[in-house]
Amino acid sequence: MTRVKWKGPYVELKSLPNSNNISNKLKNTVQTITRNSEIVPSFVGITFNIHNGKTFLKLTVTEEMIGHKFGEFSPTRKKFSFKKNKN
């Protein structure tokens, strides 16, 4: 089930980059824990540190990511591989 159009995309207000903050302009990174926030066009070019449950992963937003959620780009599980047997 999708979100109602009249409400607009869900974006955590804390994750919005503050244009008035000088230190934010210098760093150009925003740290967020909300993986369910949707990426909006004003986020293009900004680097986000997204929490995956253990660490923060860097994500630079591009135009192709608009409309997706942050959680789609920060995997929470490791890649599984079988260990080789010793002969």
User: Residue 41 sits in which domain range?
Assistant: 23-73
81 lies in a domain?
Answer: no
11 lies in a domain?
Answer: no
H-assigned helices in the chain: 22-27
Total domains, the chain: 1
pLDDT tens, position by position, 32-67: 888 888 998 888 888 999 999 999 999 999 999 999
Q: For residue 51, what is the enclosing H or E element?
A: strand 47-51
**Could you give the CA distance from residue 30 to residue 18 in angstroms, rounded to a whole number?**
9
Nearest to 43 by CA among 78, 18, 22: 18
- CATH assignment at residue 44: 3.30.860.10
33 lies in a domain?
Answer: yes
Predicted TM-score of the model (pTM): 0.73
**Residue 79, SS3 per DSSP:** coil
Other CB atoms within a 10 A radius of the CB of residue 38 amount to 17
